[in-house]
């Protein structure tokens, strides 16, 4: 059984705890600042290196780990942001549940694909699995 709604100065008080989500969004933002600067500097470095330079860059364990961290934290940050948008603007429970489920599946698929292809590049394999190339 739910508690009755609370109001302060005729404004409904939130019924759920949102401080943890808010802090997690800010934490991912702070972590992404140096990772984004590293990514821009790396892109600048690799841009003139050609194919061999780029594949050599991916084979470096430090670069592969930092890129994986950047991708995964970015996807997590995106998921949290989209969740807030859906929670704020979609009021029908069934629609909200369907959208949150779809967004969650999309983010999981992006995370899996990102790590999969990054590992393939880091190990020196072709970026696409056999049969999927043109």
For the question of whether the overall pTM of this predicted structure is more than 0.75, the answer is yes
pLDDT of amino acid 56: 87
Structure-block tokens of residue 58 = 């991916």
CA 77/CA 120 separation, integer angstroms: 24
14 within a domain of the structure (yes/no): no
Confidence of residue 127 (pLDDT cuts 50, 70, 90): low
118 within a domain of the structure (yes/no): yes
Confidence of residue 39 (pLDDT cuts 50, 70, 90): very high
pLDDT of amino acid 1: 45
**CA distances, 96 to each of 62, 82, 99, 101 (Å):** 39, 11, 5, 8
106 within a domain of the structure (yes/no): yes
28 within a domain of the structure (yes/no): yes
4 within a domain of the structure (yes/no): no
Mean pLDDT to the nearest integer, 26-53: 91
Long-range pairs of 55-64 with CB within 8 A, sequence gap ≥ 24: 55/121, 55/124, 58/118, 58/121, 58/122, 59/121, 59/122, 59/123, 59/124, 61/122, 64/118, 64/119, 64/121, 64/122
Mean pLDDT to the nearest integer, 80-96: 90
55, 121 Cβ separation under 8 angstroms: yes
Confidence of residue 90 (pLDDT cuts 50, 70, 90): confident
86 within a domain of the structure (yes/no): yes
pLDDT of amino acid 49: 83
Range of the domain at 88: 23-122
CA 35/CA 74 separation, integer angstroms: 10
Mean pLDDT to the nearest integer, 44-52: 86
**Which CATH number belongs to the domain containing residue 89 in this structure?**
1.20.1300.10
pLDDT of amino acid 101: 96
Number of folded domains in the chain?
A: 1
């Amino acid at each position: 059984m739910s508690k009755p709604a609370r109001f302060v100065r005729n404004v409904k008080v939130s019924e759920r705890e949102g401080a943890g989500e808010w802090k997690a969004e800010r934490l991912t933002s702070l972590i992404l600042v140096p990772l984004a600067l590293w990514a821009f500097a790396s892109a600048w470095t690799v841009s003139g290196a050609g194919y061999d330079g780029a594949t050599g860059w991916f084979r470096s364990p430090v670069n592969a780990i930092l890129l994986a961290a950047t991708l995964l934290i970015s996807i997590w940050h995106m998921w949290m942001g989209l969740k807030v948008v859906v929670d704020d603007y979609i009021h029908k429970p069934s629609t909200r549940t369907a959208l949150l489920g779809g967004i969650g599946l999309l983010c999981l698929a992006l995370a899996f694909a990102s790590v999969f292809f990054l590992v393939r590049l880091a190990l020196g394999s072709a970026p696409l699995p056999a049969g999927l190339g043109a």
